[in-house]
A and B are shown apart, each in its own frame.
Chain A
Amino acid sequence: MTRPTVLVLLDSPESAVTEVRSPVLELLTIARSLGRVDVVTLGAPSVEVLATLGAYGAQAVHQATLPTTLPPQAHHVTAVLASVLVAAVRRTDADVLLVPSSFAGKEAAAVAAARLGAGFVADASGVAWSEEGAPLRVAKRVFAGTWDTVSTVATDPAVVSVRANSVAATPADAPTHPEVEALPVIVAAPAVTVVTREVKQRTAGRPPLEEAAVVVAGGRGTGGDFGPVEDLADALGAAVGATRDAAFEGWFDSYIGQTGVTVAPRVYIGAGVSGAPHHRGGMQASQVVVAVNNDPEAPIFEISDFAVVGDLAHVLPQAAAAIRAHKAQA
């Protein structure tokens, strides 16, 4: 194979692309290890975004131009995003298409793969060529992070969605200066009507849950007071998450688990979380698991590296203070 081309989806929930989120930086890092890097996007990238893409070695940015008859809300509908991906793969003759493993990313990638006759792996944790060149080898962590698998993709192109925190994002040795090229995409109006669409505001100063390197999660054991959880998260620069039970109580908005957000950070700290299988499914692949629970029999202790048997209302603020003191010294 001549030098392969890898296409990366720069996704954004907004119509203008004003930031490159860390999962995309990770995709660019993986893509560089595989070949030439091209980027596809729906919205116009800002000057800063272009500079970041250059720093990560992107050679060209393909910005979809969709029919003006299509309302902007409809641009994010799976069938439309899939058409954009297909057009970009054809235009760049890409050998690999990488998208972030969000729900929207996975659906569009899968549909694009179907239309391209390409193989698709969802939720990969690593991507590399086999030693002999093709085929592509895709690593994946399954069964709540208890098994590691490797799949090969027999098709060219290969389509892969990659989980956040799979690799450390690193800039290229030599920056590039990618230009934006228009990518005309012909699509029929989708059969789905977007009645309302609202992009949730991210909490200022805190990383988003699915991207964070450190996560502090609160469960029913908080009794509804997430103060100690947020305090420790702020001391660590961590994201905050919840269990489904805590979220359904209305104590916090996003939850971790099989039907919630999947996280695989460097450190997960569960406070007042029992460690039910559904929750584990979304966090067990975390590199280091820490638990604080007042019940010495809590199942989460079985999968913890470090655990404190105690009242989170006391343990978390003390830990937060100690971490702040340590940071102040450093």
Chain B
Amino acid sequence: MRIVVLLKYVPDISSDRRFAEGRIVRDPAEGSLNELDENAVEAALRLVEAAPDAETSHVVAVTVAPETADIVLRKAFQMGVHRGIRVSDDALAGSDYFGTTAALAAAVRRLGEEEPVDLVVTGMAALDGLGSVVPALLADELGWPQLTLATSVALDGSTLTITRESDDVVETLSAPLPAVLSVSDAANSPRYPNFKLIMAARTKPVETWDAADLELDPADVGAAGARTATVEAAARPPRPETELVVDKGEGGTALADFLIRNDLV
């Protein structure tokens, strides 16, 4: 069993996130592994650990990001991921959903040429953009079935079955491998890094690939291939000072008055 897990480097959720020149500012000190991708790593590790050929099974982590993002691969190594690849190229900067998908699909294909890939696992969303569409796009691009937003995952032979709850539908879906799986934070609890792996992760090599290694056409990726462009970005004005009432018996009435006074009832 061979699983590829996709990791995203995102601005820290509690940092002061911002834009400059139409792009998200990625300050190395403030970025971290997209939290939901820890659930993806956990799901991938559990599947290979339970595989009949667990001895030879492994998980490969792939991230498309600049060099500063190696911390996300280190984190994956600490959890037990076997191999880490960073796809970095100036030509990839400014990629939209489609450019990103093209790069990820090319990386999965290249790995597949070395040795078949059984499954690609991702988090259900990246906590910066929250688009939640790359897993579906990747599946369509690879021509593989997609099982997205999973809250539970079970593998029986080469049939993967998930349950999920999205919008107002509760579903059980299944598909044969190879497939693309995205997991929600309800799917599992990510393990804590263990000491041995933390030590080993420090020196574990990160492989790097560029656009040429993946035979990506520069016209399809990055700002050159983007079909949308961010032309304006502005921080919203801060909310006016909070009107704070300490409840001394009339707090509920004050709340109702606020709503009535502002025509919100």
Q: Which residues of A contact B (CB under 8 A)?
A: 13, 76, 78-79, 82, 102-104, 106-111, 113-115, 117-123, 137-138, 141-143, 145-155, 190-200, 202, 208, 210, 214, 236, 248, 258-259, 262, 266-267, 269, 277-278, 281, 288-290, 292, 296, 301-311, 314-323, 326-327
With A118-B227, A195-B173, A326-B260 already in contact, the answer to whether A190 and B242 are too (CB < 8 A) is no
Q: Is A110's CB under 8 angstroms from B97's CB?
A: yes
Could you say which residues of chain A place their CB within 8 Å of the CB of B141? 114
Interfacial chain A residues near B161, Cβ < 8 Å: 195
**Cα–Cα distance between A288 and B260 once the two chains are bound (Å):** 13
Q: Taking chain B's interface residues, is the majority helix, strand, or loop, or is none over half, making it mixed?
A: mixed
* B174 touches which of A193, A199, A202, A314 (Cβ 8 Å): A193
User: Given A152-B231, A193-B175: A301 and B244 within 8 A (CB)?
Assistant: yes
* Contact partners of A318 in chain B: CB under 8 A: 250-253, 255-256
- Establish whether residues A194 and B251, one from each chain, have CB atoms under 8 Å apart when the complex forms: no
B210 in contact (CB, < 8 A) = no
* A117, A153, A318 interface centre (most CB from chain B within 10 Å): A318
Tell me whether A322 and B257 are in contact in the complex, defined as CB-CB below 8 angstroms, given that A13-B168, A314-B247, A316-B252 are known contacts.
Answer: yes
Mark B residues whose CB is within 8 Å of A: 13-14, 17-19, 36, 96-98, 101, 124-125, 127-133, 136-137, 140-141, 144-149, 161, 166-176, 179, 184-186, 226-236, 239-240, 242-247, 250-260, 262, 264-265
Q: Which of B148, B228, B242, B246 contacts A151 (CB 8 A)?
A: B228
A123-B130, A326-B256 provided; 9 other pairs, C-beta below 8 A? A104-B167, A111-B136, A121-B228, A200-B169, A301-B244, A302-B242, A304-B239, A315-B247, A318-B250
Task: Name the contact of B170 in the complex, choosing from A76, A114, A198 (C-beta under 8 A).
Answer: A198
**Complex Cα distance A149/B19, Å?**
9
Check A314 against B245 for contact (C-beta < 8 Å): no
A289 and B239 contacting across the interface, CB-CB below 8 Å = yes
Residues of chain B lying within 8 A (CB to CB) of residue A123: 130-131
Distance of A307 from chain B, by nearest CB (Å): 5
Chain B residues near A147 (CB-CB < 8 A): 17-19, 233-236
The closest CB in chain B to the CB of A324 belongs to B256
Taking chain A's interface residues, is the majority helix, strand, or loop, or is none over half, making it mixed? mixed
| A289-B239, A308-B254 as given contacts; A120 in contact with B130, CB under 8 Å | no
Give chain B residues whose Cβ lies under 8 Å from the Cβ of A296. 246
Contact B131 A103 (CB under 8 A): no
Cβ–Cβ contact B251 & A153, under 8 A: no
- Assembled-state Cα–Cα distance A5/B236 (Å): 32
The answer to whether B259 and A155 touch across the interface, beta carbons within 8 angstroms, is no
CB-based contact B244/A309 at 8 Å:
yes
Q: Are B245 and A202 in touch, CB under 8 angstroms?
A: no
A308 to B256, CA, bound (A): 11
Which of these, A102, A202, A301, A308, contacts B251 with CB under 8 Å?
A308
Bound Cα distance A117, B253 (Å): 55
> How far is it, in angstroms, between the C-alpha of A137 and the C-alpha of B228 when the chains are bound?
10
21 contacting pairs across A/B (C-beta < 8 A): A13-B167, A114-B137, A114-B140, A143-B128, A148-B236, A151-B230, A191-B175, A193-B173, A196-B172, A197-B171, A198-B170, A199-B168, A200-B168, A208-B168, A248-B186, A259-B185, A267-B264, A306-B255, A314-B251, A319-B255, A319-B259
B144 near A191: Cβ-Cβ < 8 Å:
yes
**Which chain B residues border A321 with CB–CB below 8 Å?**
252
Interface centre among A154, A199, A259, A292, by most B CB within 10 Å? Answer: A259
A148: chain B residues within 8 A (beta carbon)? 232-234, 236
